[in-house]
A and B are shown apart, each in its own frame.
Chain A
Amino acid sequence: MKNKILLTTALFIFCLNLCFSQSYVGFHAGLNSGKFSGDSPRNFIYKGKLQYNFGIDFDVRLKDDLFLSISPGYLFSGSKLQYPYEDIEEEKKEYRDSVDLKLYMISVPLYLKIISDNEKYQFLGGLDFGFPTKVLADNSVEEKDLYDEVNNFTVSMIFGLGYRVHFTNSLMLINLGFSQGITNLANNIDDQDTYMPRVRLSTWRFSIAYMLPVGKGKNTSD
């Protein structure tokens, strides 16, 4: 199923690039800070975790200031679980790391990119389709595989903005975005359990992309 979706996506992008006037292809890499939000085990809280992402980018021009973008890539994400620890001697309470939840997924964001009038800024909005490939819980003693306990398909909504740096024949993009998971990560396979945990991934992403123009049309500054 995953392979079919990726292949269809690749064919779609190839056809679009042939048909539309000047578009861009490139690659990106960056950092992301992800955190699970929603239900956590009793007395535990989720904490953000800094990881990284990389992928390729296709920007298909729809209008002078509007692009349809797709950026398939790989996302290393997850969250930390912290528990409350009371230091009796110092009489203070603090949260300490307990379990490291690792979530690795293929990410296929599809979004609209709106370019500002001065062609220096861009605003993003769309959906991110995620396909988890590995889900682990590491408590520093052992690593447990949680792949069967999460859904194998997730959808997030993306919002972001970026800065465009124009070179003679290429473009560099500096992007900051936020994605909020819409679908539940937890796989509620036990219908007898009335307590259905709601867990979603919310991620801040920073990335730098390098893009080259392709397709028909004159080579404008954008």
Chain B
Amino acid sequence: MRVLAQDENNTPRLNDHFFVPVCMIASPFIKSSFTTNLGIAQSSEFENVILEIDDEKYYGLTGSLLFADLEFEYQQKIKDWIALYISYNLTARVGTEFQSFISQGVSTVSSFRIGWLVRILETEKFMLSGDIQINNHSATFITVSEFVKDIIENDTITSITRNVPILNMNGGLRFAYGINKVFGIQGFADLGYGDSYRRGKSDFIYRTGGGIDANLASTTKVPLGFSLFFTASALPDYVHVAGKSALGTGLKISYSAAPHFNIGLEITKMRIPVPNIDDKVQSTSLFISSKYYFN
């Protein structure tokens, strides 16, 4: 006996497959919903650059970074073919030991996003939507090493705190395919343009991801859904270095038997670029992700 009753279920579905929402994958479905994501991450240890003067790097001891992320998103279905969404995201990053604190400092990025999601094509098994959004980020960096570098190299007294406003626009496509009652595929790709962390320059940015999910609640008494996914992003709220991107893979385990609600745990392994470090650092993140569907 199936756990889910199809007629009362607001969870997006195609070909009788109820999709497992993933916070790293943008959904193509025109639904009214409210999403919250709360996560922490820690990087692997890396060698810190304490100072960089005239392209020569002075290394200190090893250290790591701690990340925290909080996101709220509300999407309102206006017609069957169009929805409006707004979201707020706050990301913080801090060095965990003294040497990584000196080298990397503390940074926070708050992001406000507003956009439109438009259905382009829908069949029994497949859905394709397009979206356009505007992202307004406000980044604050407290970096001791950059402050010292400014004094030594540029002979100027600057502030230990740097504020960088960043605005960009994204547009892209999102799709979902219901393979059968158990399995489904979701994916998206966005391309954007706008401010970067380097003043005086504008950059192209991208974000993409995809995954395959299995919802056991559709055909068994097990009320669980799983999703295996990948993600790549150069958005300023994830990547604090201009011109680089973060890559990752992850797994989500969620409770998927509720007709209007999904909650789960996402575990993601990412390779993230870090300022003043040539190589990307590995990080492991844990997200608690919940989504409530109104209609």
Interface residues of A (CB under 8 A from B): 37-39, 42, 65, 114, 116-117, 123, 125, 157, 159, 178, 180-182, 188, 194-196, 198, 200
Chain B residues with Cβ below 8 Å from A123 are 78, 84
Closest to B201 in A: A196
Does A180 contact B199, Cβ atoms closer than 8 Å?
Answer: no
Task: Point out the residue from B78, B82, B167 that lies within 8 Å of A198, measured CB to CB.
Answer: B167
Given known A37-B136, A65-B79, A114-B79, contact A198–B165 (CB-CB < 8 A): yes
Does A194 contact B200, Cβ atoms closer than 8 Å?
Answer: yes
A-B contact pairs, 12 of them (CB 8 A): A38-B165, A42-B159, A114-B78, A114-B82, A125-B116, A159-B114, A180-B136, A194-B199, A194-B200, A195-B199, A196-B200, A198-B195
Given known A157-B134, A188-B200, contact A200–B167 (CB-CB < 8 A): yes
Closest to B86 in A: A159
Does B134 contact A196, Cβ atoms closer than 8 Å?
Answer: no
Q: Please, how many angstroms separate the alpha-carbon atoms of A42 and B160 in the complex?
A: 13
Bitwise interface map of B from 168 to 211 toward A, beta carbon under 8 Å scored 1, else 0: 01000000000000000000000000110001100000000000
B31 CB → nearest A CB, Å:
16
A28 CB → nearest B CB, Å:
22
Chain B residues with Cβ below 8 Å from A38 are 165, 167
Classify the secondary structure of B's interface with A: strand
Chain B residues with Cβ below 8 Å from A181 are 167
Closest to B169 in A: A182
Does B134 contact A182, Cβ atoms closer than 8 Å?
Answer: yes
Chain A residues with Cβ below 8 Å from B159 are 42
Does A159 contact B84, Cβ atoms closer than 8 Å?
Answer: yes
A114-B78, A114-B79, A157-B169 given; name 13 further pairs at CB < 8 Å: A37-B136, A42-B159, A116-B78, A117-B79, A125-B84, A159-B84, A180-B114, A182-B134, A182-B167, A194-B199, A196-B200, A198-B195, A198-B199
Closest to A125 in B: B116
Bitwise interface map of B from 141 to 174 toward A, beta carbon under 8 Å scored 1, else 0: 0000000000000000001000101110100000
B111 CB → nearest A CB, Å:
13
A65 CB → nearest B CB, Å:
7
Within 8 A of A (CB), among B83-138: 84, 114, 116, 134, 136
Q: Please, how many angstroms separate the alpha-carbon atoms of A143 and B222 in the complex?
A: 72
Q: Please, how many angstroms separate the alpha-carbon atoms of A182 and B202 in the complex?
A: 12
Chain B residues with Cβ below 8 Å from A65 are 79
Q: Please, how many angstroms separate the alpha-carbon atoms of A95 and B114 in the complex?
A: 30
Given known A123-B84, A198-B199, contact A39–B169 (CB-CB < 8 A): no
B114 CB → nearest A CB, Å:
6
Closest to A39 in B: B165
A46 CB → nearest B CB, Å:
11
The 8 closest A-B pairs by CB, nearest first: A38-B165, A196-B200, A196-B199, A157-B134, A198-B165, A123-B78, A125-B116, A180-B134
Q: Please, how many angstroms separate the alpha-carbon atoms of A102 and B84 in the complex?
A: 32
Closest to B112 in A: A180
Within 8 A of A (CB), among B57-94: 78-79, 82, 84
Within 8 A of A (CB), among B24-49: none
Chain A residues with Cβ below 8 Å from B136 are 37, 180
A48 CB → nearest B CB, Å:
16
Chain B residues with Cβ below 8 Å from A182 are 134, 167, 169, 194
Q: Please, how many angstroms separate the alpha-carbon atoms of A182 and B195 in the complex?
A: 10
B196 CB → nearest A CB, Å:
11
Chain B residues with Cβ below 8 Å from A116 are 78
A8 CB → nearest B CB, Å:
25
Closest to B81 in A: A114
Chain A residues with Cβ below 8 Å from B167 are 38, 180-182, 198, 200
Q: Please, how many angstroms separate the alpha-carbon atoms of A105 and B273 in the complex?
A: 42
Q: Please, how many angstroms separate the alpha-carbon atoms of A37 and B194 in the complex?
A: 15
B219 CB → nearest A CB, Å:
35
Q: Please, how many angstroms separate the alpha-carbon atoms of A178 and B77 in the complex?
A: 19
A113 CB → nearest B CB, Å:
11
Closest to A121 in B: B78
Closest to B133 in A: A157
Closest to A157 in B: B134
Chain B residues with Cβ below 8 Å from A42 are 159
